[in-house]
Amino acid sequence: MSEVKARASALLQESFGPSAERIRGTLRDLGFSGYAAETFCALVRVSHATAGDLVLKTGIPDSKIYYALDELAEKGLIEVQDGKPKTYRVVPSKEVEIRLSRLVEAEYEKQRAATTRLGSLLEPLRAATKSPDTDVAYIVKGLPNVVARAKALISSARKELVVLAADEGIFRKLEDDLARAARRRIRVRLAVPEIPVTKDLEKAAEIRAIVCECVLLVVDGQQVLTMSRTADGDAYAITSTDPTLVRLGLDYWESPRCCVM
């Protein structure tokens, strides 16, 4: 009978090996220390254990095991029973899932708040670097980066947006942003192919049919973005606050060779 139990225990340990490694990896990905992940895996295999038991099972030094246990207890993955010595056990698996989900959500909210805070800190610093004499043009490469820059420019508008978008795919990526700008009472002047646009945008914007091949955005008569290629792999755009380039962008809107009523 003892041989059967020993064999069953060995098989259980063998089957747990791959699972334990995945558990350790997942916990490390979620920000747990290596010692905490190893301690958790050891506790999963038993109903309860003392710190001394876990030192023997894991090989973690005495000086580190309590830090690992405190980390797991603080995150709600284990319970502690007072005594001499204290004993520890893993909470039910469903509760582990709930606690980890809450940790992920809290970390996401923390990172999102940090992103928003960074943006608010950057805005006045970037505004301080602007000069009426600025005439430098910057290149933005890659379609996702170009679209992101265009969206940021649209959201920064305070008075007026002039948009020429011969490429329907590019326009569709910006359409919702333009509609939101219109709802903020930003004047939107739009030139696109003969395609349907959202009702909000159709109602609020001044729309012309475009007859040239260009993608161009002018913000508040101060900054221009012009896109030269629209294919994902080759896409790039130029942004500038140079008054001459801005004026040229506005002239495209006014030119009957580019846009028609």
| Per-residue pLDDT band at 136 (split at 50, 70, 90) | low
Domain ranges for the chain: 2-91, 135-260
pTM of structure: 0.53
Compute the average pLDDT of residues 7-28.
64
Contact (CB, 8 A) for 184 and 169: no
One-letter amino acid identity for 183? R
For the stretch 65-115, pLDDT in tens is 999 999 999 988 899 998 889 999 998 888 888 888 888 888 888 888 788
> Is it the case that residue 11 has pLDDT exceeding 50?
no
> Is it the case that residue 9 has pLDDT exceeding 50?
no
Q: Selecting from 1.10.10.10, 3.40.50.1110, 1.10.20.10, 2.40.10.120, what CATH number does the domain 2-91 have? A: 1.10.10.10
Scanning the chain, the segments in alpha helix (DSSP H) are 2-29, 34-44, 51-58, 62-74, 93-129, 143-156, 168-183, 199-204, 243-254
Q: Selecting from 3.60.21.10, 3.40.47.10, 3.30.870.10, 3.40.309.10, what CATH number does the domain 135-260 have? A: 3.30.870.10
* Percent of the chain with pLDDT strictly greater than 90: 21
> Is it the case that residue 164 has pLDDT exceeding 80?
yes
| Per-residue pLDDT band at 130 (split at 50, 70, 90) | low
Among the listed residues 88, 91, 14, the one whose alpha carbon sits nearest the alpha carbon of residue 54: 88
Structure tokens at 189: 């002047």
Provide the pLDDT for residue 13.
47
Q: Look over the chain and give the mean of its residue pLDDT values, rounded to a whole number.
A: 82
For the stretch 42-78, pLDDT in tens is 998 888 999 999 999 999 998 899 999 999 999 888 9
